[in-house]
Amino acid sequence: MKNIIILSKAQLINLFPSNKDSIHKDSLFFRFLGVSALFILLCMYNMVSLKAIIDTGLYKYVMPYAVSLVFFFVMIMSLFKSNSMFFYNKDYEILMPLPVSKYEILISKFGVLYLINMVLTLSVILPAIILLLLKSYISLFVSILFLLAGLFVAIIPMCIASIMGVLIEFIGIRVKKKNFITVLFITILFIVYFIFISDTNRNDIEIKNMVESQLFRVFPLSKLFYLNKNIAANIGIYVIATVIFLILYFGILGKRYEKIYNLLNDRIQESNHSEIIYEINTPFFALYKKELRRFLSSNVYIVNSSFGVIILGFFSISCILFGDSMLEKILSINDVENLFSRYGALIVSSFLVMSCTTSAAMSLEGKNLWILQSSPIDMKKVVTAKIAVNLTTHFIAYMLSIIMIVTRLNSNIIQLTLAIIVPIVYSVFISILGMYLNIKYLNLKWNDEISVIKHSTSAILTNILGIISVALPILCTVLVKLDYEVILAITCFFMIAVSIKIYKSFENHFYIS
């Protein structure tokens, strides 16, 4: 147990460095701010979904519904992270000679992933408990019981996700397009999850049928959270079942942990040295292709830094092929055509700002950054090439969304002009901003990609500022009653000015010791 605590603490320190210098203090503060903002937003979103069930009188189904949401939520998020943390982590080779067992290493990594997923778990469980308690549907004792049981809810989906992640990787060993299959599989899971939680405009019979026939079928153990007189015994059964499942998981995976680790990492080294092709390109194009290959070679990088454009592409293709009625069904929003016609520019931009590869691009160079710095290449071309890759990922989804707006929506000239120009401005702004923050909060000492791509200060800050840049025009329009087109134009001019200033300032930040 002592070794597990020490290993877990070391990994947490690696994720959240606590040095006393001002840069690391700022880093910790911004990470805490980002996690807090994410937690509050998720709580608000899930409270709306859960309240819809209570308003129909089906309060007994609230906790099973919440547990099923956690199952989807945690499983999808763990698929993003588990392989990177468990098997593509540089620290395992360092730990192998030390007097620690592979079981202790696996448990410590699982524990860190569990703590991260608790933010997602509590963002669903807490709103459900609070709503039921405020409506006096449960007693204080039952609410405490649910809260304690909530600590066990994330464990089973985490185990399933990590096993699925390993299976996907092994399938990828025999398939050339491994990353494409991984991204496609995770996207499908997310879409299924989104459809489950989005449609709140059902009557009570439809909601009851959905929970019983769909959610219960996907995660049968959620039935144990159904409100009845045996709730305490049922919760006890769930906890015991979870503990047994966890013991089996550690027993099976722990025994094969080193073998799986070696198989996956040996395969990566083989693919990296399988074939070397020399081409003659301009310095910029060579750097661009190098960065694009890095991006496409990592499903962790693709999924965690470009998921917004993947979802935007899915929505756009759905609307192009099946019309706006398909979006109305998926999003559970009436009059999608009018909404997207008027606010399409900001809607598309919101997906683009959620996808930023540049917030981690420089940190991912790691200790190899000195090679770029010492090479006879203008470092501005290096930065520009990394920005160009992010713009490329945005461009594909952007073009699909423009085709959707032109072919399926009745937009006027002003709305169409905004839909074309505004997302481009947001795309350039978030790309340059992400690179600037990555250079400012550079992290070259990391053990796994996910800690840089998802948990770094630059990534969190980029996400926060991206959300603010989209939220400000909306707030000014709704609260201050300013003209939407005017405030959007002002916002764009401001972002263009900031982008130019930041891009010009890159020359002062190029050499990094």
CB 258 within 8 A of CB 102: yes
Least confident of 25-34, 93-102, 360-369: 25-34
pLDDT at 290: 86
Tell me the mean pLDDT in the region 377-398: 89
d(CA 200, CA 301): 33
Max avg pLDDT among 29-38, 233-242, 327-336? 233-242
Tell me the mean pLDDT in the region 35-58: 79
Picking from 373, 379, 452, the residue whose alpha carbon sits closest to that of residue 88 is 452
Residue found under tokens 């120009």: 421
Reported confidence tier of residue 65, pLDDT bands at 50, 70, 90:
confident
d(CA 351, CA 342): 16
Helix axes 457-478, 484-505, angle to 10 degrees: 150
d(CA 513, CA 509): 11
pLDDT at 47: 82
Percent of the chain with pLDDT over 70: 77
Q: Which amino acid is at 199?
A: D
pLDDT at 390: 93
Residue 22 has pLDDT above 60, yes or no: no
3-class secondary structure, 101: coil
Residues whose CB falls within 8 Å of the CB of residue 358, separated by 6 or more in sequence, listed in order: 386, 387, 389, 390, 431, 432, 434, 435, 438, 462
pLDDT at 213: 58
d(CA 78, CA 114): 9
3-class secondary structure, 136: coil
Least confident of 285-294, 372-381, 405-414, 453-462: 372-381
3-class secondary structure, 90: coil
**Largest separation between any pair of C-alpha atoms in the chain:** 74
Tell me the mean pLDDT in the region 375-386: 82
Q: Is 100 exposed, middle or buried (0-12, 13-18, 19+ CB in 10 A)?
A: middle
Q: Which two tokens stand for residue 281?
A: 């390109």
Q: Which two tokens stand for residue 178?
A: 């491994």
Provide the CA 42 distance to its chain's centre, in angstroms: 13
Q: Which run of H or E residues covers position 415?
A: helix 413-440
Q: Which amino acid is at 50?
A: L
What's the chain's length in residues?
Answer: 513
Residue 359 has pLDDT above 60, yes or no: yes
Q: Which two tokens stand for residue 333?
A: 């929003």
Residues whose CB falls within 8 Å of the CB of residue 325, separated by 6 or more in sequence, listed in order: none
Q: Which two tokens stand for residue 210?
A: 């959905």
Max avg pLDDT among 376-380, 422-426, 457-461, 504-508? 422-426
Reported confidence tier of residue 299, pLDDT bands at 50, 70, 90:
confident
CB 414 within 8 A of CB 429: no
d(CA 289, CA 283): 10
pLDDT at 351: 92
DSSP character string of 179-239 = HHHHHHHHHHHHHHHHHHHH-----HHHHHHHIIIIIHHHSGGGGGGS-STTHHHHHHHHH
Which is it for the CA torsion 124, 129, 130, 134, positive or negative? positive
Residue 20 has pLDDT above 60, yes or no: no
- Each domain of the chain, given as residue ranges in start order, spans 17-270, 283-509
Tell me the mean pLDDT in the region 340-353: 89
Q: What is the DSSP letter of 177?
A: T
pLDDT tens-digit series, residues 218-266: 678 888 888 888 898 999 999 999 999 999 988 888 788 777 777 776 6
pLDDT tens-digit series, residues 106-159: 888 888 888 888 888 998 899 999 998 888 888 889 899 999 999 999 999 988
Max avg pLDDT among 9-13, 85-89, 482-486? 482-486
Helices then strands, each counted (H, E), the chain: 23, 0
> Could you give phi then psi for residue 65, rounded to 5 degrees?
-65, -45
Q: Which two tokens stand for residue 312?
A: 């935007």
Least confident of 72-76, 174-178, 395-399: 174-178
CB 186 within 8 A of CB 79: yes
Residue 426 has pLDDT above 70, yes or no: yes
pLDDT at 308: 86
Q: Which two tokens stand for residue 304?
A: 């965690």
CB 429 within 8 A of CB 495: yes
> Could you give phi then psi for residue 480, rounded to 5 degrees?
-90, -10
Q: What is the DSSP letter of 135?
A: T
CB 495 within 8 A of CB 426: yes
Q: How many CA atoms lie within 13 A of 354 on its CB side?
A: 17
492-to-309, 436, 499, 504 alpha-carbon distances in Å? 20, 19, 10, 18
Q: Which amino acid is at 160?
A: I
Residue 294 has pLDDT above 90, yes or no: no
Give exposure, 285-300, as e/b (b: 16+ Cβ within 10 Å). eebbebbbebbeebbb
Residue 271 has pLDDT above 60, yes or no: no
pLDDT at 286: 84
* Residue 216 CB coordination number (10 Å): 18
pLDDT at 420: 92
Q: Is the pTM of this model over 0.85?
A: no
pLDDT at 155: 92
